[in-house]
Amino acid sequence: MTTIERTRTAEERSSGTSVWRTIRLFWADSLIALVVKRLFAGVATVLVVLAVVFLISNVIGDPAVLMLPPEATAEQVEALRTELGLDRPLFVQFAESFSGWITGDFGVSTWQGMPALPLAIESFAKTLYLAEVTLIVAVPLGVIFGLAAGRRPNSWVDRLITSISALGVSMPTFWLGLLLILVFAVTLRWFPTNGYGGLHYAVLPACAMALLPLGRIAQITRSSVADEMGKLYVTAARTRGLAEGAIGRQHVLRNAAIPVLTLIGSEVASLLNGIVIIEVIFAWPGIGSMLITSIQQRDLPLITASVAVIAAVAVLVNLIVDLAYLFIDPKVRR
Amino acid sequence: MTSPAMTASEPVPFLSIEDLHVRFDSARGVVHAVRGVNMRVGKGERLGIVGESGSGKSVTAHTILRLMPDAQISGRIMMGDKDLVSASSSEMRGIRGRKIGMVFQDPMTSLDPVRTIGSQVVEAGRHRGLGRREARAEAIDLLGSLGIPRPSDRFDEYPHHFSGGMRQRVVIAAALMGAPELLIADEPTTALDVRLQARLLDMLWVLSQERDMSVMLVSHDLALVAGFADRVAVMYAGAVQESAQVDRLFDRPAHPYTDGLISSAPRLDAYDHPPLVPIPGSPPPPSVRMAGCRFAPRCPRAAALCREEEPALLPLADQSDHRSACHFAEQVQAHGPIPAASVASTSHNG
Ligand SMILES: Nc1ncnc2c1ncn2[C@@H]1O[C@H](COP(=O)(O)OP(=O)(O)OP(=O)(O)O)[C@@H](O)[C@H]1O
Ligand SMILES: [Mg+2]
């Protein structure tokens, strides 16, 4: 007994309790270095996306023609080209834009007459609000439904949830949005048909957007939980006398979370796609509406700034998901 | 069914399985996987269970801990005066780990990949009421005695840091942490290389001796069982065909199936033995109903009686500890499983 005691304290002195050991492992694997590396890669990705936007608008099309109404004369186009410096070599223009992107200067919005980036960021804040409400609905409900179904495969709960999620996955978002407006705004008058304001305004667009990720998250959670429940380590835990609830909490949840987490990451990313159409339908003044309007207004700086914000957010979401893996899946930690 | 009288040579049974039947409903009808198993494990006794693939060894082992939710079970599994077949699920939870532990064949999948090995080894100890530090100390001790080097350093590592052999030690440690009185090991070493198999079983043998722990070792490998077990039960087609002390069973088998198994088992000293004689044919599928002895179609000694009447597992005339489910057990033991024709002539001569 004393030998065990001694070994244990010596061991504790050298490597600490398990919490500290985990933190130490993180440092050893240098989490900071990883994050910095990924951030650089992310910035590079955003710059490449912006270069593509630049290429499309400057090489394939003529920004001066784009910015002017269709009936503009050749002289007007020429005048604008000179004014905006579009008559200079493309390389010089690109270098100028590029240094602007790096310093966060995307030029002045031709439509609003204000710096483009703050405008884009401000409208993104509104998108973020809508996305948050959507995720607050979709993620917990999706996970709860998936857990309930996966714990007892082929029970009536499972069948009910499986069919509802199949419905959610197959319903087009814009159509659901219109349906919700018709039922809850026009007929029942519970919620406003469109516009921006408090939670009241966010409910319908958020629900319209939530159904698809909710259904997908429920499906993946269900199959992931059912898979894990059938694995040998669950039976082994049972032979050690663990109660079903404890097996679920201590073993199944974390294993089942790995594919669910991947999905949530990609759902957040695709939410950014779907949100454009929903913002237009519900007249929600977010980044999606901003992008559409800036395209309609032929406002190149604002288009570029909006794309930059969207790309940066996508990169960040991916980084956060990858970091979450570190906490859940020890294999990623090496 | 009358339970055979106990003799002084037989240890007090810790677990006794009486006329156990296990059925599964499947798409292609009822699978009668275990049909009337009778078996007992003494306190501190090491029982080997051998038999061909599909003979119902694993189903029997899993049924003891009631691990198969879709199984229809009848018969009795007595532990003291408690019948595990009719025990409630909360009673079963108290028995699992603390009274009866289990180790599975596949060390790669029987550990949770996202939890440290230490946290899994500790579980059964915590379940038994040990404090956090106590459980940790005992687990490290146990891992060390199972031959894991620097157990306190490895305690917080994850399963993927361990080789198959090391994982199986971890799994055994996790089962032993509950201080079970019986350890069921379903082919615990099959996935490992031969040298490791023997080493691991040696360790298990020592641990069972130290703790007076009964072990049920399920295996294909006769040689492995011969070296480990005190007593052996031979299963065929869902029932025990013969059981005896290990030396008696190997020296004087009283069932043609056991005899066939022994002569078809590869030996290390094969050069001065006759070549392997595999048992011809294959066992009847567990969904088939048939009259008589289920081994009769493959048996070199089968007589008319064998195809009509199913033999019961009964003690041999002079050895109550040696049981065989063969109508001709005594003759087989005395003369070996001679073909039916020569049997007829022998009986004429005698
Ligand atoms: N859950 C189940 N549902 C239906 N049939 C099953 C089930 N489990 C086992 N069986 C059947 O029961 C029979 C006995 O299987 P068991 O796994 O006990 O054999 P075994 O003796 O352990 O063989 P092996 O040496 O290959 O492990 C087999 O025919 C198998 O197909
Ligand atoms: Mg088996």
Phi, psi of A218 (to 5 degrees): -60, -45
Report the C-alpha gap between B223 and B273 in whole angstroms.
Answer: 15
By C-alpha distance, the chain A residue nearest B178 is: A240
Residues A102/A108/A114/A117 CA torsion (nearest 10 deg) = -30
**Do the Cβ atoms of A146 and A219 come closer than 8 Å?**
yes
Report the C-alpha gap between B236 and B57 in whole angstroms.
Answer: 9
Residue B107, in any domain of the structure: no
Q: What is the longest distance spanned by two Cα atoms in chain A?
A: 96
Phi, psi of B39 (to 5 degrees): -160, 145
Residue B189, in any domain of the structure: yes
- Whose CA is closest to B170, among B180, B184, B186, B158? B158
CATH T-level fold of A116-333:
MetI-like fold (1.10.3720)
ipTM reported for the complex, 2 dp: 0.85
The domain limits of chain A are: 116-333
Report the C-alpha gap between A70 and A73 in whole angstroms.
Answer: 9
| B106:A251 CB<8 A | no
Q: Which two tokens stand for residue B313?
A: 């597992």
Report the C-alpha gap between B126 and B123 in whole angstroms.
Answer: 5
Residue B156, in any domain of the structure: no
CATH code: domain of residue B329: 3.40.50.300
Per-residue pLDDT of chain A (334 residues; tens, 9 = 90+): 444 444 444 444 455 567 777 666 655 566 777 788 888 999 999 999 999 988 888 776 777 777 777 787 888 888 888 887 788 888 888 898 899 898 888 888 888 888 999 999 999 999 999 888 999 999 999 999 999 898 888 889 899 988 988 888 888 888 888 888 888 888 888 888 788 888 888 888 989 889 889 999 999 999 999 899 989 999 999 999 998 889 988 899 889 988 888 888 888 877 877 888 888 888 889 898 899 888 888 888 899 999 999 899 888 888 887 887 777 777 776 5
Nearest-neighbour CA in chain A from B178: distance (Å): 7
- Around Cβ B139, how many Cβ atoms within 10 Å? 29
Which residue has 């179904």 as its token pair? A149
| B160:A8 CB<8 A | no
Q: Which two tokens stand for residue B325?
A: 């489910």
Measured from the alpha carbon of residue B28, the closest ligand is: 1
**Do the Cβ atoms of A285 and A123 come closer than 8 Å?**
yes
pTM: 0.77
Instruction: Please tell me if residue B196 touches chain A, with a CB cutoff of 8 Å.
Output: no
- Around Cβ A101, how many Cβ atoms within 10 Å? 19
Tell me, what amino acid is at A76?
Answer: Q
- Which positions in chain A have a beta carbon within 8 angstroms of at least one beta carbon in chain B? 4-5, 7-8, 11, 15, 18, 21-22, 231-233, 235-243, 250-251, 254-255, 258, 328-331
Which residue has 């796609």 as its token pair? A273
* CB-neighbour burial class of residue B167 (10 A; exposed 0-12, middle 13-18, buried 19+): buried
Report the C-alpha gap between A63 and B64 in whole angstroms.
Answer: 78
Containing domain of residue B193, as a range?
A: 14-99+180-278+286-336
Strand order from edge to edge, sheet including B13-26: B29-42, B13-26, B71-79, B82-83
Per the structure, the count of domains in chain B is 1
Report the C-alpha gap between B157 and A13 in whole angstroms.
Answer: 17
